[in-house]
Structure 1
């Protein structure tokens, strides 16, 4: 999907199952792994059907550091190597206020704002809350594009690169 359609997707309401309301019994683990590069594998074989990946992603739930696929009647644990999603596309719009619209590798569309904040982990990598408490790692290409347009800001801890979207200001990290 092109960046031109991000705004259209942001306004369309995709209904996701209410997994945060479900608390089914734990049924064990399955050999499903979401790799750090965003690819999904079952028993060592990559998922080739994006529709199936999106279906499973719609019932993905995080509890603490563990990830589960849940239905109203069962919950199975899976492995997520880093984050379940990658933030792969974005666009900057200026309709009465500056907004960064973004999308993930699984076509989740949202605006970077206080509901979808950007956080930096201990290693300096950026993540965005996509939905519920599920994160998307900011792809390196997106990070460099953001760094190219970011502004320097002085703080008590030094100088940081910052961006603002929908009145929400976030840091890309400190400048040495």
Structure 2
């Protein structure tokens, strides 16, 4: 049975509904699978979140969503596509996912932030899904942890929205609360 289509945007859903959908998402137990390494998948995830196979963009979003569910990061930092019988390298230019939309409910310590990823998956920022910012030569790079070792780069418009909210609340350091945890929006 094919996976249901993710919602087109977060505006039609309450944060409670988003949190429920995110919690219901069942992923394959890739952390328990330990097949032999089989080579390279010929798949690359570009900095903007576009998935390529043998140099061509993967046009079927259902395929991207499927591959994203079997993605794992190894202790040495490499990304792998893992099934019970094979393990293939996959190249990732920055982060495997991009947070393309954000919804906020509440203020300050009572706030919850939900993000929709480029794959349609939804993540609520909190202790299991922290936000962080890395400063680099080309500016800040904001991330949301999606699963252990796997992040989503927060798209610039979404990051600017987060910064605007943090500045409006005048916290020191600038940052936001989500699901009971404070996340500074500057690098440590």
Q: Same-fold call, TM > 0.5?
A: yes
The aligned runs of 1:81-96 (5 Å cut-off) are: 81-94=93-106
The aligned runs of 1:110-125 (5 Å cut-off) are: 110-123=123-136, 124-125=140-141
The aligned residue for residue 130 of structure 1 is 146
How far apart in 2 are the matches of 1:122 and 1:140?
14
The alignment partner of 2:183 has SS state of strand
CA RMSD, 1 decimal: 1.8
8 A Cα contact 1:86 1:139, kept in partner: yes
8 A Cα contact 2:45 2:51, kept in partner: yes
Q: How far apart are residue 6 of structure 1 and its match?
A: 6.0
Length-normalised TM-score, structure 1: 0.89
Instruction: Report which structure shows greater RCO (CA 8 Å, sep ≥6).
Output: 2
Number of residues of Structure 1 aligned to a counterpart in Structure 2: 169
**Partner of residue 13 from structure 2, selected from 5, 17, 20:** 5
Change (3 A) 1:32 1:6: farther
The alignment partner of 1:173 has SS state of coil
Length-normalised TM-score, structure 2: 0.84
Q: Which runs of 5+ in 1 are unaligned?
A: 155-159
Q: Which runs of 5+ in 2 are unaligned?
A: 1-7
The aligned residue for residue 139 of structure 1 is 155
Change (3 A) 1:45 1:6: farther
